[in-house]
Amino acid sequence: MITKEFDTITAISTPLGEGAIGIVRLSGSQAISIAQKVFKGKNLQDVESHTINYGHIIENDTIIDEVMVSVMREPRTFTREDVVEINTHGGVAVTNEILQLLIRSGARMAEPGEFTKRAFLNGRVDLTQAEAVMDLIRAKTDKAMAVAVQQLDGSLKTLITNTRQEILNTLAQVEVNIDYPEYDDVEEMTTALMREKTQEFQKLLEHLLRTAKRGKILREGLSTAIIGRPNVGKSSLLNNLLREEKAIVTDIEGTTRDVIEEYVNIKGIPLKLIDTAGIRETDDIVERIGVERSKKALNEADLVLLVLNASEPLTQQDQTLLNISANSNRIILLNKTDLDEKIERDQLPDDLIAISVLENQNIDKIEDRINQLFFENAGSIEKDATYLSNARHISLIEQAVESLKAVNEGLEMGMPVDLLQVDMTRTWEILGEITGDAVPDELITQLFSQFCLGK
């Protein structure tokens, strides 16, 4: 495949900061010649592709750093352009200095995600694979990483591409039957074909949608609100799950004044834990703002961990929290069971979990319950399964299913098949938006703008 002609771009591809190695990347037709201008060592124009070469980065005979330079010639590169990667000593000053030197030598600063955008525009990856690159970077657990790797390998691309081809074949066959009828019952045969294929496509896409809940959770995590009245042990629970002290823990009510967010890995499921301010009536302005934010977090949470104090009788605040969280995916935690129990268990649901954060008792049961609530069979991700995890993909698949339903409804009403081809064609177009075969340029720009610099 012939790549498109673009200018040469450059960016730092490693996080800024102290480290053993920093990488400054170039991509474009002039990548090697620009790198040669600042490199003292072997002539990079003459070295073989996919080799790494020792030397120095220089400016006006002044050595900036000792480096290793990788040279990769198109088309066997990520962008399908010539790519040069300068491996320098990690550090803010040296990597920035080399970046600025490359820009002065003829390269342009890359836009966010522009390397991956070029890989897409040059046919190296489709849009699902490009988005999987960012999913892989942002993966917080091994299961989230596995889903991203599957998409990067093209599992979703293959499924969508094959489905689009099947739709195209069906449309072509219907068109042939209409234009060149060989039998008297051609209309009945064409209708039967359309019905069979539409139901087949709908079943496939609806199965894909059923993976969306799991995939989206693995990609984005479960938004988990830890709620309870003040001083029941919410912050202690957060610190226990995180295995570190992030929240301030004291015996003084109202210590947590704001919403604290942290991620934790629960058996491969990323949880975005939100330690909320205790929900209660208060005259403290700052605490009142925190309480309002807590209520907002509760309404938006995928999972609610309601913490009660086993060593005290139920209060009106406890009862209020039980009521407002009743319709949530909720786990009730009876904390401080290491103390004398005074709470009225007969007024509580039976499925609560009795814990002691102080003595680390039954914390593992919380993880088991979360697993049961959201992934009853989540022991492992099927290696060959394709999971929907991207909100854009989910929305488009839902639209495609609606178009297929319109075809089926039209068939039941006895509408002419040639009219129903419009909805079938629309399904084909919608699926093309997932892979990038039929997508507006504005969307492409918007999607890649979310990537980090250097990727």
Domain boundary among 324, 346, 374: 374
Domain boundary among 125, 145, 175: 125
In this structure, of 40-54, 65-79, 165-179, 351-365, the range with the lowest mean pLDDT score is: 165-179
Mean pLDDT is highest, among 13-22, 219-228, 359-368, 397-406, for 397-406
Q: How confident is the model at residue 286 (pLDDT cuts 50, 70, 90)?
A: very low
Q: Is the pLDDT of residue 54 over 90?
A: yes
Please state the length of the chain. Answer: 455
Q: Is the pLDDT of residue 245 over 50?
A: no
| Tokens at 8, concatenated | 């040469």
Instruction: Give the model's pLDDT for residue 248.
Output: 34
Instruction: Give the model's pLDDT for residue 253.
Output: 40
Give 274's strand partners. 225, 261
Instruction: Give the model's pLDDT for residue 2.
Output: 44
Q: Do both 69 and 204 map to the same domain?
A: no
Give 63's strand partners. 58
Establish if 451 belongs to a structural domain. Answer: no
Establish if 232 belongs to a structural domain. Answer: yes
Q: Is the pLDDT of residue 374 over 80?
A: no
Q: How confident is the model at residue 256 (pLDDT cuts 50, 70, 90)?
A: very low
Single-letter residue type at 434: I
Sheet with 9-12: strands ordered across: 39-41, 51-59, 62-72, 83-90, 19-27, 9-12, 108-109
Rounded to whole angstroms, the Cα distance separating 453 from 127 reads 18
pLDDT, tens digit, 9 for 90 and up, residues 312-351: 999 888 888 888 888 888 899 999 998 898 899 888 888 8
Rounded to whole angstroms, the Cα distance separating 171 from 184 reads 20
Q: Do both 261 and 291 map to the same domain?
A: yes
Average confidence score pLDDT of the chain: 81
Mean pLDDT along residues 353-360: 89
Q: Is the pLDDT of residue 56 over 60?
A: yes
Q: In a 10 Å sphere around its CB, with 0-12 CB exposed, 13-18 middle and 19+ buried, how is residue 281 labelled?
A: exposed
Q: Do both 253 and 362 map to the same domain?
A: yes
* Number of structural domains the chain divides into: 3
Among 374, 284, 266, which Cα is nearest to 328's?
374
pLDDT, tens digit, 9 for 90 and up, residues 149-201: 877 888 888 899 999 999 988 888 877 766 655 555 556 667 888 889 999 99
Q: Is the pLDDT of residue 380 over 60?
A: no
CATH number of domain containing 71: 3.30.1360.120
Rounded to whole angstroms, the Cα distance separating 95 from 87 reads 9
| Tokens at 417, concatenated | 């098949």
Establish if 444 belongs to a structural domain. Answer: no
Establish if 446 belongs to a structural domain. Answer: no
Q: Do both 67 and 204 map to the same domain?
A: no
| Tokens at 209, concatenated | 């949608």
Instruction: Give the model's pLDDT for residue 254.
Output: 39
Q: Do both 254 and 297 map to the same domain?
A: yes
Q: Do both 232 and 359 map to the same domain?
A: yes
Q: Is the pLDDT of residue 1 over 70?
A: no
Among positive and negative, which fits the CA dihedral 283, 287, 293, 296?
negative
Q: Is the pLDDT of residue 59 over 60?
A: yes
Mean pLDDT along residues 268-275: 73
Q: Do both 252 and 285 map to the same domain?
A: yes
Establish if 171 belongs to a structural domain. Answer: yes
- Percentage of the chain exceeding pLDDT 70: 81
Mean pLDDT along residues 289-300: 63
Q: Is the pLDDT of residue 289 over 60?
A: no
Q: Which residue has the higher pLDDT, 6 or 220?
A: 6
The range of the structural domain enclosing residue 167 comes to 132-211+387-436
Instruction: Give the model's pLDDT for residue 164.
Output: 92
Q: Do both 370 and 407 map to the same domain?
A: no
Among 300, 273, 302, 299, which Cα is nearest to 374's?
302
Domain boundary among 66, 98, 125: 125
Give 56's strand partners. 40, 66
Rounded to whole angstroms, the Cα distance separating 452 from 47 reads 31
Establish if 345 belongs to a structural domain. Answer: yes
CATH number of domain containing 308: 3.40.50.300
Angle (CA) 308 310 314, round 5°:
65
Q: Do both 207 and 301 map to the same domain?
A: no
Q: Do both 239 and 359 map to the same domain?
A: yes
Q: Do both 176 and 245 map to the same domain?
A: no
Q: For the chain, what is the HEC assignment? A: CCCCCCCCEEEECCCCCCEEEEEEEEECCCHHHHHHHHEEECCCCCCCCCEEEEEEEEECCEEEEEEEEEEECCCCCCCCCCEEEEEEEECHHHHHHHHHHHHHCCCEECCCCHHHHHHHHCCCCCHHHHHHHHHHHHCCCHHHHHHHHHHHCCHHHHHHHHHHHHHHHHHHHHHHHHHCCCCCCHHHHHHHHHHHHHHHHHHHHHHHHHCHHHHHHHHHCEEEEEECCCCCCHHHHHHHHHCCCCCCCCCCCCCCCCCEEEEEEECCEEEEEEECCCCCCCCCHHHHHHHHHHHHHHHHCCEEEEEEECCCCCCHHHHHHHHHCCCCCEEEEEECCCCCCCCCHHHCCCCCEECECCCCECHHHHHHHHHHHHCCCCCCCCCCCCCCCCHHHHHHHHHHHHHHHHHHHHHHCCCCHHHHHHHHHHHHHHHHHHHCCCCCHHHHHHHHCCCCCCC
Instruction: Give the model's pLDDT for residue 251.
Output: 40
Task: Kindly provide the b/e burial profile for residues 445-455, where b requires at least 16 CB atoms within 10 angstroms of the residue's own CB.
Answer: eebbeebeebb
Mean pLDDT along residues 282-303: 62
Instruction: Give the model's pLDDT for residue 224.
Output: 85
Instruction: Give the model's pLDDT for residue 9.
Output: 96
Establish if 255 belongs to a structural domain. Answer: yes
- Percentage of the chain exceeding pLDDT 90: 33
CATH number of domain containing 416: 1.20.120.430
Instruction: Give the model's pLDDT for residue 64.
Output: 94
Establish if 450 belongs to a structural domain. Answer: no
Instruction: Give the model's pLDDT for residue 259.
Output: 44
pLDDT, tens digit, 9 for 90 and up, residues 94-143: 999 999 999 999 999 999 889 999 999 998 988 888 888 888 877 777 77
Give the contacts of 351 (CB within 8 A, at least 6 positions apart). 332
pLDDT, tens digit, 9 for 90 and up, residues 216-234: 777 777 888 888 888 888 8
Q: Do both 311 and 249 map to the same domain?
A: yes
pLDDT, tens digit, 9 for 90 and up, residues 386-437: 677 778 888 999 999 999 999 989 988 888 877 888 899 999 999 999 888 8
